[in-house]
A and B are shown apart, each in its own frame.
Chain A
Amino acid sequence: MSSTQLQGPPPYQAIGRHAVMSQVDHDEAARFNFLTHMNRFLSTRLLPRVKDAYERSALPRFQAAHGRAPADRREVRQLMADETAYQQWSALRRGTMELRQQTGRAVVLRQLDRLNQVAAELNVQPGLKLDPSLPLPRYIAAVDQHCMPGSYHTELVANDVSPAANYDAGIFATTGGGLGRYSDGGGWAVVEWLREQRSEWLARHASQLRILDLGCGLGHNTLPLAQAFPHAQVTAIDVAAPMLRYGHARARSLGVSNVAFIQADAEQPPFAEQSFDLVLTCMFLHETSRSAINRVFQQSYRLLADDGISLHLEQPQYAGMPVYEQFIRDWDAHNNNEPFWTTMHDLDLRALAADAGFAPEQMFETGLAAVVDESLFPKPDKNTEDYGRAAAWYVFGAAR
């Protein structure tokens, strides 16, 4: 391998810039670089030791006591709590998540006045519709997802974009650049899937393509659809105003004008039935709730026109997975403020979709890996899975 090929994760300096992006000085970039490497070290060096401890210490201990292997991930979790390797990996992983938040917030908050002003100037252009009267769902109001203080919605000052600016600044480090320069590899993966697997469907929608992204956040995965299909009318909804302010400003700064960012609840989107051709969610379902996910599926069905497609990008469901892998994948539910993660990954999505009205023969499942610029960014590596963080997704979909 030549020394001019990148052998590790990309440096923070490779991150894609846009007008509303936080400016980072040398040392702030170095702090993010440390987090990138810490995450890599955790997944490639310490996590394999946790599995070692399970196989060489915990499992024999359990078998000696019970005459059988652990039956489910709850038994594994109870068992592993006493394993030093697990304690150390967990303590460092939790600590690294918290340090990532601290690093991002320190960067954003020192320049918040400027960021809010830049966003406000870009948001004069049409395409942003906020609704301050919209009630927050409890799963957002009561939970600081993945240790993010104040969740997606908290405004420290008027017209605040800080939660989105912090999210955008740090996701590059958390994923080791695996999502690409603009952390949009998920959206590009959907684009590639549509082009390769639904080319006839795309041809049928060559004159009209109406796309809805539910729970869009700051639109990382929404924008590639708008960029790849310039004729598409893209609508992106979220309950959190800071994400939408930042998302719309970011889109405009990147020259994307065919996305409308609207403050609305994915459980009751304010749109007419059968008014979209593609309805999707990207890593959104696991941050909702048991009752909300039902409604999201029902709304997906209601909003889809005939010949429409619904798509949900998530981490894989647990059914049929070895109990140790379930246990490791479930770490975020218990230790990274993702309370619905456990329940969500046990759900029968086919049954959920059937209840919403989708025909079983119209349902499909597939896997997607992030599509990134491989001249600089790492190809998703199947051998160093960092459960729940990898730039690869399980997709559940259903056509109408």
Chain B
Amino acid sequence: MSLDVNRLANAKSKGKRPYFMRVPEAERVLNVVLALAQETAVLHERMDTLERLLEAKGLLARAEIDAFGPSIEVVNQRSAWSQAYLSRLFRVFEQDCEALRETPEQAATVDELAQT
């Protein structure tokens, strides 16, 4: 078998792909960022695993990394990390939503401060 795994893994599903943002290019960049975010998470998790194994055993074996199963306690720590990480990445979206809650008076005060 000589499947082109990289190409086939990326296969597009049938039909027109929806874009939601005003500028489709921005959404394409977002999709690149999403893939990078996934890989960053992967790196983080791998290092976390390595460090824990090194700490526990004082040596490193590749098979041990692949065989590693985190304890529930470790998973809880990783869960907290993942949510904090996503929170950092998508800070700007939440800020846009927070802006909806700002009153015109607050904005006026900032304008006034800028001019005086």
Contacts and interface: CB of A to CB of B under 8 A. Distances in A.
Given A45-B94, A53-B97, A156-B3, A109 B68 contact: no
Interface residues of A, number: 66
A31 B86 contact: no
A306 to B, nearest CB: 43
A52 B14 contact: no
A150 interface: yes
B38 A91 contact: no
A378 B60 CA distance: 33
Contacts of B104: none
Given A88-B96, A92-B90, 19 more contacts: A11-B70, A30-B42, A31-B41, A33-B45, A34-B82, A38-B37, A38-B38, A49-B94, A81-B20, A85-B97, A91-B31, A95-B31, A96-B34, A109-B8, A144-B15, A148-B13, A149-B13, A157-B1, A334-B18
Interface of A: 3-11, 13, 25-27, 30-31, 33-35, 37-38, 40-41, 45-46, 49, 52-53, 56-57, 81, 84-92, 94-96, 98-99, 101-103, 105-106, 109-110, 112-113, 142-144, 147-150, 156-157, 334-335, 337, 376
B84 to A, nearest CB: 10
Nearest to B48: A30
A99 to B, nearest CB: 6
Contacts of A11: 69-70, 75, 78
Given A34-B37, A101-B13, A113-B1, A88 B93 contact: yes
A31 B79 contact: no
Given A46-B93, A113-B1, A91 B15 contact: no
B18 A335 contact: yes
B34 A95 contact: yes
18 contacts: A4-B71, A4-B72, A26-B46, A26-B68, A34-B38, A35-B38, A49-B93, A49-B97, A52-B100, A81-B20, A87-B20, A90-B18, A94-B20, A106-B9, A109-B8, A112-B1, A149-B12, A156-B3
B21 A87 contact: yes
B38 A45 contact: no
B101 A56 contact: yes
Interface in B3-26: 3, 5-6, 8-15, 17-22
